[in-house]
Structure 1
């Protein structure tokens, strides 16, 4: 028997012997396997995180939009590059610009600016009073900008439809299926601020009257099991919503900025507009560019939507939640307690549940035995550096692969493509390394050692 189980058995046995049985003359008689352990539970120790600077929603959306324009331009370079330096080349420029559809290019640029324009419209508030002239001026400008975007999308989409076949035009609607699969038949995740952008995190509870526009997440350090489980449910829904936004928006960036130009470049007309020519390009390289764009956009959104304060909030909640580990085998003579949802269980406690016999893991445990959601929540967030380490490893692998590709590249478009993409990923790597160093120093107070 392990040492921790022997110690716990002695505590439980001594507690039972000291409590004793009351006979029928003196009163109630305790069940032989019921041992009080709730008094051994203590509040987890939380460390204090310093304020780590992060990008505002507006600056982040501007950065993502510039990133999308860069990767789209690189894809067009991969598709329409020329060998203009050769003595007998008929090309005068580095690209065959006449092969690029300007309506498709404008359609993609306007479509991918939707988050930036909407964020700008929400950030610029002007006067809050409807009686002020400034309020109506700002409101009129927002309406005109939205109408201009809709009209531009309609006109450019119409010309794309008449210049290309219906089959290729249907590629523009494919992300709708992904959206319905992730979010369902609702448009709220497209415009509602608390869904489109991550909710702010506070170190202390926020009054309701200051929390009207957006839900502010906070941790309530409590020994009430129901309150802890409710907090876990709220954070689980918020985390899932963030992951959906990350996956959808990163896929959308890679799809429209790199895959759509590739789809519409399958067959192009030559300059005389009388016959069709086939466009030749490096299939492996343009496909690799689509994948690298998706991974890079995924990391950019992950770093913004999962900041250190938010991960620390999840970690604090996971410490209060704990986890139950099922004990396999026959343990008929092992002292245990009947699980109660109103009890905070200490580490190492054995409880009997309808799903079996479970052992408590964590500083204290308020989770439900056999609840898979509680187990996953504790696994991901009870180690405060786990998510940051995973993201950092993925970023290092991506940058390392790009560096290896840069060394092996010999064509000018490959060198430009890899160099600019590495420059974009360096900013993500910098923020992850900064967060990793600060968090590791901050959590020394909580764990007494570095978290690797």
Structure 2
């Protein structure tokens, strides 16, 4: 019933992320093989990477998509083709700030090239190079600094990175729902293979429910992939050093003939100890509330983003708890839809989606247990750690005695 060329277009678009992961894996493999090798071997590996693997792969994918898309444009009216560009419009809306940053970077490169301050290769590098927004977890570690400026800068970078990962997950959910649910409804065949006109009835309410479930499932899968345990640990460590401010019950004294003590204005140069009261630029009085593991508060009391970051990440398991609750609610909603449906094709679809969400919930629950055992160990866990440490010390003593 469905047009095979349309199915090819949708499959290639949905599989684009898999292709990019394969592309990145090949780049990392070649980079690892090129370490400490001669210039000739590095050049040979680069030729193999692009001439034998990447270029034929991209040529095959792009040519297949263009051929299938041209057939879809021939078989369907232009009004239907417009729906293919809906994800692009959503991408512009979600990543507007990132695109402006990319445009300003290219504009600055062209300006330097026009004034002969840089070579044209600089402009080309700025066009090709992606925006350095999502940090590489393998090359980034938390810096346990007592400099409040460094702490705030680190939190700002992590906060922007967290928002970027969330936006990527939202776009992944919306685009997956559009390609897999909305477009098949738009590109319903209007004629049979024999050329006879036909009209297919579409259950619009079911398609809406299915699109919502598919979008939320894709979002949950992608956000789980982008928020691994080591990333959550990095966020928590930064939030611990940041600290936060709470409202103070201090009231401004009345004017008298005597000198009255008044909290000083907040300054960005030092750490503030626990319960230390300061005055903000808008006249509010706030009290420092550091994490018990650190000495003071480095947060800016006027920065709402830092307050939100501390609220989300100060407790190591809060983000994981939110993800677990979200996934449980999604499974409960799917189960309720399964109870109410009677069509066999709806039942099969919901069961398959529920199976994917069950696996994801099991993975999240396992990660939640790991985080809880690491950050909030039970007395049994502490006793086990002490026992292992004791056995390790005994083994070290036995080895030292044998050497003597």
Deviations 1:145-199 (A, max 9, x none): 101111111111111111111011000011111112222345999984966x762
1:269 aligned to 2:269? Answer: no
1:228 aligned to 2:151? Answer: yes
Structure 1 Cα separation of the partners of residues 88 and 8 of structure 2: 20
Task: Report how far residue 282 of structure 1 moved.
Answer: 2.3
- State the aligned residue count: 334
Greater shift, 163-172 or 361-370, is seen at: 361-370
Structure 2 Cα separation of the partners of residues 239 and 273 of structure 1: 52
Structure 2 Cα separation of the partners of residues 425 and 192 of structure 1: 32
Higher helix share: 2
Aligned match for 1:302, one of 206, 223, 229? 223
Shift in alpha-carbon separation, 1:190–1:312, aligned structure 2, 3 A: farther
Shift in alpha-carbon separation, 1:138–1:246, aligned structure 2, 3 A: same
Aligned match for 1:361, one of 281, 285, 289? 289
1:161 aligns to what?
73
1:147 aligns to what?
59
Aligned match for 2:165, one of 227, 242, 249? 242
Shift in alpha-carbon separation, 1:308–1:413, aligned structure 2, 3 A: same
- Structure 1 contact 343–366 (Cα < 8 Å) conserved: yes
Task: Report how far residue 328 of structure 1 moved.
Answer: 6.3
Unaligned runs of 5+ in 1: 1-98, 202-215
Shift in alpha-carbon separation, 1:190–1:439, aligned structure 2, 3 A: farther
Deviations 1:314-356 (A, max 9, x none): 1111111111223367332665344221211122110123222
- Structure 1 contact 183–189 (Cα < 8 Å) conserved: no
Aligned match for 2:375, one of 409, 427, 443? 443
Structure 2 Cα separation of the partners of residues 101 and 232 of structure 1: 49
Task: Report how far residue 435 of structure 1 moved.
Answer: 0.9
1:104 aligns to what?
6
1:178 aligns to what?
90
Unaligned runs of 5+ in 2: 104-125, 254-259, 382-404
2:393 aligns to what?
none
Shift in alpha-carbon separation, 1:313–1:327, aligned structure 2, 3 A: same
Structure 2 Cα separation of the partners of residues 358 and 193 of structure 1: 37
Structure 2 Cα separation of the partners of residues 316 and 435 of structure 1: 18
Q: Map 1:210-225; keep pairs closer than 5 Å.
A: 216-225=139-148
Structure 2 Cα separation of the partners of residues 372 and 193 of structure 1: 25
1:116 aligned to 2:18? Answer: yes
After TM superposition, where is structure 1 displaced by more than 6 Å over at least 4 residues in a row? 187-191
Structure 1 Cα separation of the partners of residues 353 and 173 of structure 2: 15
Matched position secondary structure for 1:442: helix
Matched position secondary structure for 1:325: strand
- Structure 1 contact 246–298 (Cα < 8 Å) conserved: yes
Comparing both chains, which one has the higher relative contact order based on Cα–Cα distances under 8 Å and sequence gaps of 6 or more? 1
C-alpha RMSD of the superposition:
2.8
Q: Map 1:42-441; keep pairs closer than 5 Å.
A: 99-124=1-26, 125-126=29-30, 127-128=33-34, 131-132=40-41, 133-140=44-51, 141-184=53-96, 185=99, 186=102, 192=130, 199-201=136-138, 216-265=139-188, 268-275=190-197, 277-327=198-248, 330-332=251-253, 336-356=263-283, 357-363=285-291, 364-441=296-373
Task: Report how far residue 428 of structure 1 moved.
Answer: 0.9
1:75 aligns to what?
none
Task: Report how far residue 377 of structure 1 moved.
Answer: 1.2
Task: Report how far residue 232 of structure 1 moved.
Answer: 0.8
Deviations 1:268-288 (A, max 9, x none): 21343143x221132222221
Structure 2 Cα separation of the partners of residues 179 and 118 of structure 1: 17
1:65 aligns to what?
none
Deviations 1:112-168 (A, max 9, x none): 222212221221234536633444223212101101111111111111111111011
Task: Report how far residue 293 of structure 1 moved.
Answer: 0.4
Q: What's the TM-score, normalizing by structure 1? A: 0.68
1:63 aligns to what?
none
Shift in alpha-carbon separation, 1:337–1:198, aligned structure 2, 3 A: closer
Structure 2 Cα separation of the partners of residues 238 and 106 of structure 1: 34
